């Protein structure tokens, strides 16, 4: 849709969006108040966090886990809310800046 000159109102019923939206060109900076943290030992690698991330900043790692790129994560908590196993928690962001997340 982006770059195609059409908006969502122009889509026919049943249109499939194959890629999530992305704010990958907009770094979060220092305004995020919380960050996602994943407990690997309980993660089932289902990818729900990837599917629901509205920013498209969750990526699959080589070992099959999913990890948020904290340079672009806005800290909305949708990944934590949607995780079926409760593996992702939102923790208060520390002053040091970008940290490892999910």
Contact yes or no for 73/57 (Cβ under 8 A) = yes
Is residue 20 a part of any domain in this protein?
A: no
Q: Each residue of 75-85: pLDDT tens digit?
A: 999 999 999 99
Is residue 8 a part of any domain in this protein?
A: no
Q: Each residue of 83-101: pLDDT tens digit?
A: 999 999 999 987 655 555 5
Q: Each residue of 48-71: pLDDT tens digit?
A: 999 999 888 899 999 999 999 988
> Which DSSP symbol is given to 41?
G
Q: How many CA atoms does the CB half-sphere of 43 hold within 13 Å? A: 20
Question: What CATH number did the domain enclosing 82 receive?
Answer: 3.30.70.20
Distance from C-alpha of 47 to C-alpha of 22, rounded to nearest angstrom: 17
Backbone torsions φ then ψ of 100, nearest 5 degrees: -70, 135
Is residue 12 a part of any domain in this protein?
A: no
Q: How many domains does the chain have?
A: 1
| Tokens linked to 25 | 């060109």
**Residue carrying the six token digits 């089932």:** 44
**Residue 62 sits in which domain range?**
28-92
Is residue 64 a part of any domain in this protein?
A: yes
């Amino acid at each position: 849709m982006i770059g195609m000159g059409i908006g969502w109102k122009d889509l026919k019923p049943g249109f499939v969006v194959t890629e999530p939206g992305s704010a990958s060109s907009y770094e979060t900076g220092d305004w995020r108040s919380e960050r996602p943290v994943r407990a690997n030992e309980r993660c089932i690698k289902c990818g729900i966090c990837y599917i629901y991330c509205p920013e498209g900043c969750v990526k699959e790692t080589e070992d099959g886990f999913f990890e948020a790129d904290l340079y672009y994560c806005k800290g909305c908590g949708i990944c934590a809310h949607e995780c079926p196993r409760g593996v992702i928690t939102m923790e208060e962001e520390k002053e040091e800046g970008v940290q490892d997340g999910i």
